[in-house]
Amino acid sequence: MTFPPGPAAHGDGPEAVAARLTGRTVSGVRPVSGSLAEAVLDGGGVVVVKRTEGAEAARAEAAGLRWLAGAGTVRVPEVHGHDGRWLVVDRVTRGRPTREAAVRFGRDLAGLHAAGAPAFGAPPPGGPAEAYIGLAPMRNVTGGDWPAWYAEHRVLPYLRRAVDDGTVRPDEAGVVERVCERLPELSGPAEPPARLHGDLWNGNVLWGADGDVRLIDPAAHGGHRETDLAMLALFGCPQLRAVLDGYRETAPLADGWEARVGVHQLFPLLVHAVLFGRGYAEQALAAARAAAAG
C-alpha cells in the first residue's frame, strides 16, 4: 500500500504523534476516519493512530490492551504508547474468518478469561477507574458479588441515563429493574472474576491475514465470562458457533448459559440506547422481558 507523504512531523497531529510514540520517522499518513489514521514508518511497518475521548480514555485503552496481552492467550496489536488523547498501536493486516481461526480464537478467549481479575469491576493495572465503553463513560468500581455488582455498576446507571434522556419511558424501566432484583436467581452458578475484553462485539474482533484473531478497543475489567460471549452474539460475530466450540472444549460453560445470554446483553444494549437511541432501548426491554419470563 502506498501512502502520500505527510506534513512535517511537528505539532499534535497523527504524524507527529506516531513519530513521537514509535521513535521512528513517518513517511506518510492516510486518514481512516475522523478519529483514526494510519501512519507508515520509515524502514517498514504501519501503525494506527487513534484520537480518543480524552487522556483517561487513551490510558484505559492502552492499559486494557496490555492486560489482555499479559494473559498470553488472545492476541492484540502491540501498543506503542499513549500521549494525551492519542493512542498508537500496530495495524492489523486483515484476512477472512475461517473455522480453524475461530476455534483457535475460542480456545484463546477461554484462556484469557481464566487468567482472571482481582475482583468484579477491577480495572486493568495502570488503568483508570473512570474508563469508557465505546464513547460512553464506564466506571470500574469493584464488588465481591457479581449479581449485585452487575446491577449497580453496569445495568442501572445506563438505565437511569436512558430514562433521563427520554430514551426509556419511566413506566418501562420497571421491567429492567425487576430483572436486576432477580439476578441472584437468573445469573446461574457463581463464577470467579474473569479477565474480560468488555466490548467484544464483532467490530472489535479482527481476523488477521496470518490466521489469528486480534482484539481491539477493549473496555477491559473483571467480570463474568458469559458477558463477553453474549456480546459476541449480539451483533453477529462470523463463525460464532466455531468460536463457542473452541471455547467450550477448553472451558465448559455452566448449564443454562444460553438462557442467560439476554441477561448479559442488557448492559451493552443499554449503553447503545444511551448512545444511539430508542431502537436499542426496545431491544434492551425485549431482552429484559425474555430474561424475566425464562
The catalytic position among 12, 90, 199, 212 is 199
Specify whether 199 is catalytic: yes
Nearest of 214, 227, 250, 249 to residue 69 by alpha carbon: 214
Q: Tell me if residue 17 falls in helix, strand or coil.
A: helix
CA distance 154 to 143: 12
CA distance 113 to 197: 9
Backbone angles phi, psi at 216, to 5 degrees: -125, 170
For residues 199 and 218, the answer to whether their CB atoms sit within 8 Å is yes
- Nearest 5°: the CA angle 226, 61, 272 is 55
Sign, CA dihedral 204-121-73-24, equals positive
Question: How far does Cα 34 stand from its chain's mean position?
Answer: 20
CA distance 143 to 157: 15
DSSP tag of 253:
P
218-254 in b/e burial notation, b at 16+ Cβ within 10 A? bbbbbbbbbbbbbbbbbeebebbebbbebbeebbebe
Q: Tell me if residue 245 falls in helix, strand or coil.
A: helix
Active-site positions? 199
